[in-house]
Structure 1
């Protein structure tokens, strides 16, 4: 458990004990000590520029970045300047996730 919390920069002093042999006040359950909580990281100077396009019934080659003859200049530019993902997996055998 210590290794789990270490990933977030916490040490054992930030977590109250489950040990019933200690005082009743301390053994009522695990709780985080509010004054020892890590502060949220400062927001980055620039927010990430992320666009997720979630489409229903689109074929792989239906837009320009994937070989279509149909003009899609904005999508073409986004794919050229950013990241183009080429391996896709669906989470459902029906089209319900996008409807």
Structure 2
């Protein structure tokens, strides 16, 4: 189990104890975290699980694949250098303490 922190646009933080191997999106949806819509269920066709990954974790993640990079062009909120789709972040031991900020809108 690892700990991840999801910070809403209003500053409210959800701290989750999650198992490795799941995606960040799966963990957030299972915990009913507001702000991760995940309309497509993780099929990478909607960009409604957009997050901003904080350092040092943003630079530890592999770069987005072409499909993810393309979907990030369609986010409702501003795309930033640390923008990622949470469905594409696989939780692993080295991501213990991962903190992401949720955008103010997913639609």
TM-score normalised by the shorter chain: which range applies? under 0.3
In our comparison, the structure showing a higher alpha carbon Rg is: 1
Greater relative contact order (CA < 8 Å, ≥ 6 in sequence): 2
- Structure with more of its chain in strand, by fraction: 2
